A and B are shown apart, each in its own frame.
Chain A
Amino acid sequence: MMKTGKLLLIFVLLCTTIGCDDIIYLEDVEIPLVLGLDVDPNDPDQLIYYSSAPVFSKDAQKKYTVRKITAHSLEVAKNKIGGMSTGFLVGGKLQVILISKKLLQHKNVFPYLDVLYRSPKNETKALVAMVDGSIEEIMNADMKDKGILGVVIHDIIQTSFDQGITVCTRLLDFFHQMIDKRITPNLTELKMEDGEITVYGTALLNKEAKYSSSLNILESTLLLILRKETANQLPLSFSIPQDHQKNAEINLAVNHINYDIQSDYRDHRFQFTMNMALNADISERLFPYEIKSKQDQLERILTSQLDQEFNQIIHKIQAKQLDPMGLGVYAQAFQYPHWQKVKTHWGKELSKATIKVKPHIVIRDFGITF
Chain B
Amino acid sequence: MKHSTPHEEHIIHNELAKNLDQLKQLFYYAPDFQFKEITTKSGDKALLVYLEHIVDKVAINEHILKPLMYAVESIDEMHIPIFKTENALQIEEVEKSLYAGKSVLFVEGKTFATIFDTQGWPQRAIKEPQTESTLKGAHQGFVETAGQNIAIVRRYLPHRELTVKSYEVGLRGKTKVFMLFLKDVVNPEIVAEMEDRIQQVKTDAIINAGQLVEYIEDHPNSLFPQLLQTERPDALVANLLQGRFAIIVDLSPYAIVGPMTLTSFFQSVDDYSTRWVIASFARLLRFFAFFITITLPSFYIAAITFHYEILPLDLLISIGVSREKVPFPPIIEAIVMEISLEMIREAGVRLPAPIGQTIGVVGGIVIGQAAVQAGVVSNIMVIVVAITAISSFIIPNLDVSLGARLIRFPMMLIATIYGLVGIAVGLMIVFANIINMESLGEPYGSPFSPIKFIDWKDTWVRFPLWKMDQRPTSTNSVQTMRQRTSRKGRDR
**Which residues of A come within 8 Å of B, CB atoms?**
1-2, 4-5, 8, 12, 15-16, 19-20, 22-27, 29, 31, 33, 54, 56-58, 92-93, 95, 121, 123, 148, 151
Contacts and interface: CB of A to CB of B under 8 A. Distances in A.
Interface string B116-139: 000000000000000000000000
A93 B323 contact: no
Contacts, number: 68
Contact of B313 (A22, A24, A93): A93
Interface core residue of A19, A54, A95, A121 (most chain B CB under 10 Å): A54
B418 A20 contact: yes
Contacts of B309: 92-93, 121, 123
Contacts of A22: 306, 419
A95 B313 contact: yes
B433 A27 contact: no
A26 B316 contact: yes
B317 interface: yes
Interface of B: 219, 221-222, 304-306, 308-309, 313-314, 316-317, 319-321, 323-326, 329-330, 410, 413-414, 416-419, 429, 433
Contacts of B330: 25
Contacts of A151: 313-314
A19 to B, nearest CB: 8
A5 B419 CA distance: 21
Interface core residue of A26, A31, A56, A92 (most chain B CB under 10 Å): A26
Main SS of chain A's interface residues? loop
Nearest to A60: B324
A21 to B, nearest CB: 11
A54 B317 contact: yes
Given A1-B222, A2-B221, A4-B433, A24 B305 contact: yes
B406 to A, nearest CB: 13
A1 B223 CA distance: 10
Nearest to A4: B433
B305 A23 contact: yes
A45 B309 CA distance: 33
A27 B324 contact: yes
Interface core residue of A22, A31, A56, A95 (most chain B CB under 10 Å): A56
Given A20-B417, A93-B313, A148-B317, A25 B305 contact: yes
A56 B323 contact: yes
A26 B325 CA distance: 12
Given A4-B433, A27-B320, A15 B417 contact: yes
B310 to A, nearest CB: 9
A24 B419 CA distance: 11
8 contacts: A2-B221, A4-B433, A23-B305, A23-B306, A24-B306, A92-B308, A92-B309, A151-B313
Contacts of B419: 22
Contacts of B317: 54, 56, 148
A54 B313 CA distance: 10
A56 B433 contact: no
Contacts of B321: 56, 58
A26 B433 contact: no
B304 A26 contact: yes
Contacts of B222: 1
Contact of B410 (A8, A26, A27, A93): A8
Given A56-B320, A57-B324, A148-B317, 14 more contacts: A1-B433, A2-B221, A15-B417, A16-B417, A22-B419, A23-B305, A25-B329, A25-B330, A58-B321, A92-B309, A93-B308, A93-B309, A151-B313, A151-B314
Contacts of B313: 33, 93, 95, 151
A56 B324 contact: yes
A265 to B, nearest CB: 47
A19 B305 CA distance: 14
A213 to B, nearest CB: 33
Contact of A58 (B221, B324, B410, B433): B324
Nearest to A122: B309
Contact of B305 (A1, A16, A26, A31): A26
Contacts of B416: 23
Nearest to B419: A22
Nearest to A59: B324
Contacts of A56: 317, 320-321, 323-324
B259 to A, nearest CB: 18
Contacts of A24: 305-306, 308
A12 B418 CA distance: 11
A93 B316 contact: yes
Contacts of B324: 27, 56-58
Contacts of B323: 25-27, 56
A58 B222 CA distance: 47
B281 to A, nearest CB: 34
B423 to A, nearest CB: 14
A65 to B, nearest CB: 13
A26 B417 contact: no
Contact of A31 (B316, B326, B417): B316
Contacts of B305: 23-26
Closest 7 CB pairs of A and B: A92-B309, A1-B221, A56-B320, A56-B324, A26-B304, A27-B323, A15-B417
Nearest to A150: B313
Nearest to A19: B417
B388 to A, nearest CB: 20
A55 B221 CA distance: 49
